[in-house]
Amino acid sequence: MSGLVAGPTRLYGIIGDPIAQVRSPAVFNAAFRQSGFDAVLVPLHVPRDGFADTMRGLMRLGNLDGFMITIPHKQATMALVDEIRPRARRVGAINAVRREPDGRWTADMFDGLGFVLGLEKSGHKLAGRRVLLVGAGGAGSAIADAVAEAGAAAMTIFDLDRAKAERLASAIAEAYPGVAADCADAPEPAGHDLVVNATPMGMRPGDPLPVPPEHLTADMLVADVITKPEVSPLLEAARAKGCVTQIGRLMAEGQSAAVADFFGLTLDWSGVT
């Protein structure tokens, strides 16, 4: 890729509201240039209002080969695609959609896989972990499924919407009988050795912390999914308590490789950060 967008350039997009926080365009476009692939990934700010109509219009573009989905559209997009892969059906949300040769659109979910790959890249194993997961939305559901599949021993799920947390805990218990899954009335870290924030809390100034920081202890691994700021307020508080932390960028990096493979792209990621 020359760096210039021209007639033959293939288009990919990332859909969200807000969209300024996403890193995927910089990461993918660097990989496209490095790989000599004539494509561009662009951020697309699509508000909730008129979402379905906007998406249907985008999906009619003949040179759009795929798109990624971020908050808050990971569940709403499911109604617009032709095929949903089993993992995404199990999670109940999608974050990547590709155009098939026959024009149909296929969707899958890579949030959870990216999270697990990020932890493993940092040397953290999931087997036997006691996990507190804050957030039972699209990202939280995907992380719960992937962490359970990776061998977590127990999982406590908290969401402000108690019914949503209960549904996710039941789904994990049914799909993974070896995982003791339950929901909680409060995001209490005590009794867990992995604390995961799978909510947007921390992206905006003044957001409350997803867990009470005074209850964090130095033996806990604390992970956040948000990428901007890179060190979230939760991770700052966790580091002050002596915790090992995992930034959201590492989840995003693991996810990028998995999504590129889903799109059928062989990209050179060396040197891309």
Catalytic residue IDs: 74
Residue 151 CB partners (closer than 8 Å, separation 6+): 125, 126, 127, 128, 129
- How far is residue 152's CA from residue 154's CA, in Å, rounded to a whole number? 6
On whether the CB atoms of residues 155 and 181 are closer than 8 A, the answer is: yes
Q: Are the C-beta atoms of residues 241 and 189 closer than 8 Å to each other?
A: no
Residue 158 backbone class (left: φ over 0; alpha: ψ -120 to 50; beta: rest):
beta
Buried residues in 156-188 as b, exposed as e (16+ CB within 10 A): bbbbeeeebbebbbebbbeebeebebebbeebe
Question: DSSP for 190-234?
Answer: TT-SEEEE-SSTTSSTTPPPSS-GGG--TT-EEEE---SSSS-HH
What is the CB-side half-sphere exposure of residue 43 using CA atoms within 13 A? 16
189: preceding bond cis by omega (within 30 degrees)? no
